[in-house]
A and B are shown apart, each in its own frame.
Chain A
Amino acid sequence: MALKIVKGSIDRMFDKNLQDLVRGIRNHKEDEAKYISTCIDEIKQELKQDNIAVKANAVCKLTYLQMLGYDVSWAAFNIVEVMSSSKFTYKRIGYLAASQCFHEGTDVIMLTTNQIRKDLSSPHQYDTGVALTGLSCFVTPDLARDLANDIMTLMSHTKPYIRKKAVLIMYKVFLKYPESLRPAFPRLKEKLEDPDPGVQSAAVNVICELARRNPKNYLSLAPLFFKLMTSSTNNWVLIKIIKLFGALTPLEPRLGKKLIEPLTNLIHSTSAMSLLYECVNTVIAVLISLSSGMPNHSASIQLCVQKLRILIEDSDQNLKYLGLLAMSKILKTHPKSVQSHKDLILQCLDDKDESIRLRALDLLYGMVSKKNLMEIVKKLMLHVDKAEGTTYRDELLTKIIDICSQSNYQYITNFEWYISILVELTRLEGTRHGHLIASQMLDVAIRVKAIRGFAVAQMATLLDNAHLLTGNTQRNGICEVLYAAAWICGEFSEHLEDPMQTLEAMLRPKVATLPGHIQAVYVQNAAKLFATVLRKHEGETDSHAAQETSQLLIDRLPLFVQSANLEVQERASCILQLVKYIQKLQQKKVEVAEEVTALFAGELNPVAPKAQKKVPVPEGLDLDAWINKPPSESESEDEKPKAVFAKEEPKHSRSRHTEVDEKELARRREARKREQANNPFYIKASPSSQKVYDAPGVEHIPVVQIDLSVPLKVPGMPMSDQYLKLEEERRQKEKAERKKEKKKKREKRGKERKADSGPESEEDIAPAHQVDIVTEEMPENALPSDDDDKDPNDPHKALDIDLDKPLADSEKLPVRTHRPEVLKSPAEDRVNESIPQETKKRSGKEKKEKKKGKEKDRKRSKEEKKKKKHKEVEEELLESHPEEAVQSEETKEAATPPTSTSAEASELDFWLCSAPVPPAAQEETAPSSAAAVDTSSAAAPESEPDEPKDAEPEDTKSSKHKKKKQKKEKEEKEKKKKKRHHHHHHHSNAGGEDSVQNGTVEEEEPLPPMSNYFLLAENSYIKMVYDIQGNHQDESKVVVSVIFENKSDSFLKSMEFNVLDSLNSKLQRPEGAGAHDSLTVPFQLPPGISNEAHFVFSVQSIVMPQKLKGTLTFIVKSDESSTHEKLDFKLHFTCTSYLITTPCYL
């Protein structure tokens, strides 16, 4: 035995440790793979040994190799061995290896369950910590299920170190095992008030992550988080909470109102950019959800925009980027506020950083107006020219098109301009977006009838210069525009000035090099042009021209008849035969034009993209049923090619075609390359020489210039060979062109003169010509709206669980029955209570009491009364048959009192109402905004059942201020009144003690943790309610929260709060202040507003109930006068008020 140990340690001395391995790898740079494979062999040997130290060392090395990309899954079992070592050194390495190497598919994971459980309950906190850390990386649904209860127990561990880890890992557990969420949630919520800031922040983290995904289940926590937000100084926590509020506000607009003020304060005060950014983001989210404008909102928006401007102007690229990002969110709802910063955003387009430029581009989208569209696009076109790299340029291209085409071409005043822009875009090198440009051309030409003449002229030029687009193989993407050009020229050929020339251009031999689907369009539209030419020459005595055209077609079409593309071939041969027949008729001097034109008669209307989907299937039509008997398989294959006739089809077959070919081609190319490489006589093309050929920017420019100088008779050709002067040249071109057409188009002349004075003035005028944008056709009653669902695979979807519903026994987490003794902390005792090992009778009863205040179920609040009767019966049942209760889980769930549920709902409402700017109080002074509140709260999703309670405070007031009410409100109230009879007010002022207790039916109910306010004092000016809370951090202090509510029509200011100290309880005054000095309340109250202030008292003994006399002095300022007023009060410190309100759970 001893020998074995000695041998082990000797072995170890000769082993490589991790450092040796790393060094070895660095020394074997040339044959790294070989070196590592020998190392792996060594490691395998080491793993075979019994010595755990050797094994751990081996596992550690494996972890390193895993990072380098080597497969170490074969060692999974050894990792488990090292994990289960009793020594922390090895355990640590084992867990690290596991967390790096294990994943859900690792089968040995299930072997670890018991080991992990043992480590979790280890007396050494670092064992537990290491197990938790590891678990967070490789937790599987099985592990989550088996260990959920153990981890939940750890959430109440004595050591904050463990508590915070346990809290954080719960999130992973929830994701893997959603059933654990409801049982664990009360404990988690409790941790929000943990004395340790780390644990608290962990709990905030987890709940925020949960709530972000499914906000509606966490709405009831809003008051708690609000309190945390106003009290916390930890930026990490603040950011999370603020983010959470961002997710909650869309569900509860009143919350948004409450938030605006603290958030704007934070924005003003914080120096941390991350916090500032988060606040701005949430304010934006709030304002979006509040959409209906309250007067001071524009101020908040302005503040945000200002702050963002500062970010954007900052020299730090990161802040610049984020500023732009946030700006784009504001843009959606408040485009005006952003538009005023156009200068800054345009400036960002010149930034060195591409990502910043892209962000700025996003913003441009929303900044265009009819006035500035051309200006902005001009700027973008300049950027297109300067842009390096095709990605950014393509992005620019799509943005230009997006900007122009947005909301049905809303901002385009001059479509001629737009067409020219599109034509200019076709000159882009190697863009992938030819298709996009083409579809825009088609769309505009089809839908804007007035532009067709111009469009056709431009397209004719494009066709004429097609060689520019196709000349370079790299520019293949752009060929697509020829598809559009050919179609437009053909379809609207009546606008062509010289159809004969265009026809000639479309039948050039070079066309045969274009992709098949484009050729097909060429052929088809050549026929259309042919018809136009015929008609043009009809009636002329000399039929020579018409016959010439026929001859041209007969000469050129055979080229297409030979095409490899089926579509082209078929169309070409059809048309060829047709033309031959027509030629015969022409020779006999028969008039054919009309009949040929009839081939293409009728107008094509645009159809909305979704129209097809929206056509309802007629009743009785079964699309899956066979019309004929199912044909045999071979037959169906034969039939398929015949169906190829739709426009899209040729593309389809083409791609299929190339796909097959490409493999073959690649193989051949590979073979050829190999051959060439081995051939010493073969001169290989160096990449640089290729570049010379491919750098087409320089090459094509002179060609364009020549081209343009010659066919100046073609009108509307934009001179875009030099992008730098692009816009100006276009205008000059247009000018020149219009001068020629002056006589024809008088209408345009007026416009053109204005164009001379600069682009701005041009935009001021109404659209150049009456533009009729044809809307796309849709089937009747169909809406173009989208109805897409969310991603069903989202893991967070499973966590959409109603947390307020009472727990059923079936939901309790699985517990091992024979658990090793764990050290007991007071917290843990409570834990054990929650474990359903106890008699069901007891838990049944206690649950009822303890759940209240935490649980609510809005749906049930309606059925309250009925349920209550039910409950009593059920209760008896439970008590008499405890065993039975185990089985009847469902009955039990029903039995847990739903009454308390409405308590929490109204609690939230109360909290929301007593906001600094509460809707109820607002009503008194500003009826119109109150109306807005009313409608907005009614619009809030799922707040329907609460409405009755919701309306109450407003109603109380309404009796006093009836005159000011609007009719609309009254109507709404009346509706609500019907439902309300069984609640009573929580604002009833006279009641003192029970006034604020939300007046739901339940009496045995415990005090809700929040908003447990009692009336302190009241007169005609002001009302004070207060709440006393113990302090977690400092037991000798209590915090008294006082809500001051201005009941008068005057302004209350200079409020001073003073209390006559007793020996036992003293008001905490700022340093230097005398013992009898009063504290200034840090705010003023406009009419109808309430706000909350906190006063800290130090307390000597908590067993002495106290009554402290105090006075509030204040100045009432009305229009005419200001008077000094005071209000006396007595502050009750009962013994129970010192209790820290930690909610208890079963």
Chain B
Amino acid sequence: MQFMLLFSRQGKLRLQKWYVPLSDKEKKKITRELVQTVLARKPKMCSFLEWRDLKIVYKRYASLYFCCAIEDQDNELITLEIIHRYVELLDKYFGSVCELDIIFNFEKAYFILDEFLLGGEAQETSKKNVLKAIEQADLLQEVSTEVYYHHCKATAIGVHHRVFGLSL
């Protein structure tokens, strides 16, 4: 996998992870281009598109688009699976995850992703193990952020976005 982007329906980037070295300028250009392309697609369309010499695999969960770029020979379906697995992990970790969770705890979202994927390859296929690793690492961390997290979740501005539809 070359990179993974999370962005909202409004085209706001929520998370980005690059597994290939690119300059900031290039990253921005790619992001802009892809966000536009993906958002322009109709909901009934398939989740794959060819883009430059890469294949883009994306999936929408509620208001968030998860978008991965893979190489020519890579398996699209397993990439969808990776996306789904990641969403499941987020869901388990945050408990009915919504876009706001990812916005306000974006570093946590990264930590989970990093436990799940490394260098663009799936490193742990067991959900349980990923969550265990995250929880143990969190234990090492000070509690302060946790307090903030609950505080934020309670007082988050506006209505919660719909919880991601997780159909397994």
A contacts, CB < 8 Å to B: 17-19, 22-23, 26-27, 60, 63-64, 67-69, 71, 73, 88-89, 92-93, 96, 99-100, 103-105, 124, 126, 129-130, 132-133, 136-138, 161, 164-165, 168-169, 171-172, 198, 201-202, 205-206, 209, 212, 234-236, 239, 243, 246-247, 273-274, 277-278, 317-318, 320-322, 352-356
Contacts and interface: CB of A to CB of B under 8 A. Distances in A.
B28 to A, nearest CB: 6
A67 B48 CA distance: 25
B78 interface: yes
Interface stretch (B62-70, B87-95, B101-109): B101-109
A69 B78 contact: no
In order of increasing CB-CB distance, the 9 nearest A-B pairs are A274-B77, A317-B46, A136-B119, A321-B46, A88-B140, A89-B141, A133-B114, A274-B78, A353-B45
Nearest to B114: A133
A878 to B, nearest CB: 40
Contact of A318 (B13, B21, B22, B80): B80
Interface in B81-135: 81, 103-104, 106-107, 110-111, 114-115, 118-119, 121-126, 129, 133
B136 interface: yes
Contacts of B103: 22
A364 to B, nearest CB: 18
Contact of B23 (A88, A105, A172, A317): A105
Given A317-B44, A352-B44, A354-B45, A88 B16 contact: no
B20 to A, nearest CB: 9
A355 B46 contact: yes
A193 B70 CA distance: 28
Nearest to B140: A88
Contacts of B78: 235-236, 239, 274, 278
Contact of A353 (B19, B24, B44, B141): B44
B61 interface: no
A1101 to B, nearest CB: 34
A132 B118 contact: yes
Given A63-B107, A67-B13, A103-B24, A126 B137 contact: yes
A159 to B, nearest CB: 11
A318 B83 CA distance: 14
B54 interface: no
Contacts of B13: 67-69
B159 to A, nearest CB: 13
B119 A23 contact: no
Nearest to B142: A89
B77 A126 contact: no
A322 B77 contact: yes
Interface class of chain B by DSSP:
mixed
Interface size class of B (residues with CB under 8 A): 35 or more
Interface of B: 13-19, 21-24, 28, 42, 44-49, 73, 75-78, 80-81, 103-104, 106-107, 110-111, 114-115, 118-119, 121-126, 129, 133, 136-137, 140-142, 148-149, 151-152, 157
A322 B76 contact: yes
Contacts of B19: 136-137
B65 to A, nearest CB: 15
Given A22-B104, A96-B110, A198-B125, A168 B77 contact: no
18 contacts: A17-B148, A18-B107, A22-B103, A23-B157, A26-B157, A67-B13, A92-B137, A92-B141, A126-B133, A126-B136, A137-B119, A164-B123, A165-B123, A202-B123, A205-B122, A236-B78, A274-B77, A317-B46
A93 B15 CA distance: 15
A14 to B, nearest CB: 15
Nearest to B136: A126
A398 to B, nearest CB: 16
A958 to B, nearest CB: 40
Given A92-B137, A168-B118, A321-B48, 16 more contacts: A23-B157, A60-B107, A96-B110, A103-B24, A161-B133, A164-B124, A212-B73, A239-B75, A243-B73, A243-B75, A246-B73, A247-B73, A277-B77, A278-B78, A317-B45, A321-B46
A202 B75 contact: no
Contacts of A67: 13-16, 106
B149 to A, nearest CB: 8
A104 B104 contact: no
B138 to A, nearest CB: 10
A64 B36 CA distance: 22
A133 B118 contact: yes
A713 B19 CA distance: 67
B119 to A, nearest CB: 4
A165 B118 contact: yes
B111 A96 contact: yes
Nearest to A166: B118
A19 B152 contact: yes
A907 B151 CA distance: 64
A1099 to B, nearest CB: 30
B109 to A, nearest CB: 10
B36 to A, nearest CB: 14
A4 B42 CA distance: 58
A68 to B, nearest CB: 7
B66 to A, nearest CB: 14
B118 A136 contact: yes
A1092 B134 CA distance: 43
Nearest to A102: B21
A165 B115 CA distance: 9
B123 A198 contact: yes
Nearest to A72: B24
Contacts of B123: 164-165, 168, 198, 202
Contacts of B122: 201, 205, 236
Contacts of A64: 106
Nearest to B156: A23
A67 B45 CA distance: 28
A354 B137 CA distance: 45
Contact of B22 (A103, A161, A206, A234): A103
A124 B136 CA distance: 11
A699 to B, nearest CB: 28
A169 B118 contact: yes
Nearest to A101: B24
Nearest to B157: A26
Contacts of B28: 69
